[in-house]
Amino acid sequence: MPIGDMLLRSVDDSQINTVFPNTFEEYKKWDKEKDKLPPEEVYKALFQELAYGDKIQVGRALTRMNYSKSGWKSLIKKTSREIKKVVKKEEFPDSYKEFLIETNEKWADPTYWYAMGQMLNNQTSIYYWNAIDRTFDQELNVVQQDEDRRVYVQTWLKTLKVSIYVTVFCLILGFPVAHLLANLPLRYSNLLMIFVLLPFWTSLLVRTTAWIVMLQQKGVINGVLVWLGILSDDGRIAMVYNETGTLIAMTQILLPFMILPLYSVMRVIPKSHMRAAQNLGAKPAMAFWRVYLPQTIPGMSAGGLLVFVLAIGYFITPELVGGKDGKLIGSWIAYHLKTTLNWGLTAALGAILLGFMLIFYWLYNKIVGIDNIKLG
């Protein structure tokens, strides 16, 4: 249900069509080739729908209109005040077009009217295009967004890159730990397990802040390196408030999600398999590669998928430690959900994220097989 609702919202544009039906109807008759501005009927319909429309419904429509062009909102609000005065005095103008342009010269700016063209239907694909830095031009052709506003494509790429890196690092770091845990005697492995789980139970913010203390320019690691004479005092490495910081912190936070499934799979691999392989003449490396590793694949894939899925939607930790590189796609989803209230774009971004997940799931199923996944 919530997913269906999200998908619907990402294409829905019906609210504004209930607020300005006549304006839009007249708008469709405007011949943009012939006339620079829409005909008198459009201005008149808009005047009337603003004058007699429900205040709250108009308000909601304005939020929507502002997504298609910044400035719509205050233009209409200022105009509405003038319209209310006219209605009160019942001194209606002869030409609504002239009246509106007189109250605000922006009504003579065709770019506002072109932007209205995006909203004429009950469904729209604009949010999906916005989510990949595209928009509509006046003929409703898909074009690139203004150059200095193109942020989403690079954010998508960055999010994918970070998620893949984090997954790989988690695998590299998690595998030996899980192996150790699975093969030590129980009393040692239990103790070690607590070390794995302890940070897992600690607050996310505490761990993130701890990393900042460790990594910052005047932090623990740089301090020790300078003290040892490995770094000069002005050669301190920038390890936090950049992508390095994001990768380090996210890897540490997501590591248990890799270790735990790996551990539970490794624990049930009989030790006799390795011994048997070596007995039959395989060198230890060969035995590991041909006998042990294949049996851990279900754990690796479960852990990998888990870490990847969590990483791709992460945003609080990256924002805190990532500095200028810390805005992943999750940050934008939260921003549009809470601040701009552009739920159409929010839903489109979410739907694309879901699409990515399904693609990876499908790829995974093709390569490894979904029956092969195992959490223990």
Binding residues for another protein, rule: CB under 8 A, are 55-56, 59-60, 62-63, 66-67, 70-74, 77, 148-151, 154-155, 158, 212, 216-219, 241, 319-320, 323-327, 335-342
Minimum distance from residue 53 beta carbon to another protein (Å): 13
What is the token pair recorded at 150? Answer: 């193109």
Q: Which is nearer to another protein, 32 or 150 (CB)?
A: 150
Q: Which is nearer to another protein, 99 or 332 (CB)?
A: 332
Residue 115 has a CB neighbour count (10 Å cut-off) of: 20
Q: Which is nearer to another protein, 222 or 264 (CB)?
A: 222
Minimum distance from residue 152 beta carbon to another protein (Å): 8
Question: What is the spatial distance between Cα 255 and Cα 307, in angstroms, rounded to a whole number?
Answer: 8
Q: Which is nearer to another protein, 5 or 25 (CB)?
A: 5
**CA atoms 178, 184, 189, 192: torsion sign:** negative
Minimum distance from residue 165 beta carbon to another protein (Å): 17
**With 0-12 CB in 10 A as exposed, 13-18 as middle and 19+ as buried, what is 358?**
exposed
Q: Which is nearer to another protein, 167 or 342 (CB)?
A: 342
Q: Which is nearer to another protein, 189 or 340 (CB)?
A: 340
Minimum distance from residue 4 beta carbon to another protein (Å): 16
Q: Which helix (H) or strand (E) holds 1?
A: none
Beta bridge partners of 134: 144
Tell me which DSSP letter residue 342 carries.
-
Minimum distance from residue 157 beta carbon to another protein (Å): 11
Minimum distance from residue 130 beta carbon to another protein (Å): 10
Residue 33 has a CB neighbour count (10 Å cut-off) of: 6
Minimum distance from residue 262 beta carbon to another protein (Å): 33
- DSSP code string of 33-90: TT-SS--HHHHHHHHHHHHHS-HHHHHHHHHHHHHHSTTHHHHHHHHHHHHHHHHHHT
Minimum distance from residue 101 beta carbon to another protein (Å): 18
Q: Which is nearer to another protein, 96 or 107 (CB)?
A: 107
Distances (CA, A) of 51 to 39, 44, 81, 188, 353: 19, 10, 9, 77, 41
Q: Which is nearer to another protein, 33 or 105 (CB)?
A: 105
CA angle 346, 348, 353 (to 5 degrees): 95
Query: Is 196 in contact with 177 (CB distance < 8 Å)?
Result: yes
